Structure 1
């Protein structure tokens, strides 16, 4: 929110004074700071929902309401469906490192934003987790 206020202040300054420098600084702030923060925000949101049992805040709020209201009984198979394996430490590290790698990639290599590591992390982790969960499940004896 503070970055949006900074953009507002810069554009208002240029609008009121007629000085184009405020617009140029707002453009610089938007393209070199806010863009990367938005990419990091998207990645952390996706990975938070992938690495935790309940996902993002709206689902957590819904779960909190369910735990208080208890509108129905708990089913015996509910725990098996809701168990999500604890992410490995390297996954958490990669989630935190991916936005920084994307920033370096954008600034040093491409010269424009490219959330490559964020995309690979957000796509690769659910696939890796599904393989891990599938291998850990006991197979029925026939």
Structure 2
């Protein structure tokens, strides 16, 4: 049986979420290896090389993949019946993703910059905290992958008495896939990892869902 175009685009968004999530975790593992190498190396040149490569990997690949993974996950929650807080496994993934993205931006990236400067000055830098934080990121991403596969636990208390959420129209998933692909291209080509297109797509998807729910709630009164 042939798949409808809307179903294909929704599956493309899911595929993109899976690919970028795996990429995020694999780059976090690579970051962990480089930071460990820099921390344990005796040769100062190796320490500088390890931290410099870790910093480049974080800004050029890990950050764009993390953004793409986060925003495809957010959009799937905003555009499908899963929602953000209707199921425990989705709610936990949502909270963990928000925490990881913010810690990556405000702590990990800043720590990498300090580590590079410290290594060039002959010091060790914040190697211990950086390694521990990166290891925690890897563990959290692996846990989120398990949540996606197992989908454990029941619905949250916030779903009591609420109707099933509608699925967004096909053009929302088409827009989301294009937006994430555009952000990844900009990040790779121009070194600009800010997810501008994805943010716009998420706002549009959330607004579309809110309007659909509002119209559905008003329909019986006028029907």
TM-score (norm 2): 0.49
Q: Which of the numbers 52, 58, 61 marks the counterpart of 1:30?
A: 58
Structure index of larger Rg: 1
- Cα distance 1:5–1:99, how it changes in 2: closer, same or farther (>3 A)? same
The Cα offsets for residues 39-76 of structure 1, whole Å up to 9 and x where unpaired, read as 1122122112212223352456443699xxxxxxxx8x
Q: Say whether 1:129 aligns with 2:209.
A: yes
- Structure 2: segments with no counterpart, 5+ residues: 1-24, 92-150
In 2, are the aligned partners of 1:3 and 1:34 still within 8 Å (CA)?
A: yes
Match of 1:118 in 2: 198
Matched, 1:9 2:100: no
Q: Which structure shows the bigger proportion of residues in helix conformation?
A: 2
CA distance in 2 between counterparts of 1:95 and 1:53 reads 17
- Deviations 1:90-128 (Å, cap 9, x if unpaired)? 21222222222112334446x422211111111111112
The aligned counterpart of 1:71 is: none
CA distance in 1, matches of 2:208, 2:215: 11
Give the Å deviation of 1:31.
0.3
Which whole-Å CA distance do the structure 2 matches of 1:10 and 1:133 have between them? 48
CA RMSD of aligned residues (A): 2.7
Alpha-carbon separation, structure 2, partners of 1:2 and 1:107: 17
Residue in 2 that maps onto 1:70: none
Unaligned runs of 5+ in 1: 67-74
Report whether the alignment pairs 1:63 with 2:154: yes
4+ long deviations beyond 4 Å: none
Task: Report how many residues are paired.
Answer: 128
1:55–1:131 CA distance, 2 compared to 1 (3 A):
closer
Give the 5 Å matches for 1:45-64: 45-55=73-83, 57-59=89-91, 61-63=152-154
- Asked whether the 8 Å contact 2:83–2:165 carries over to 1, the reply is no
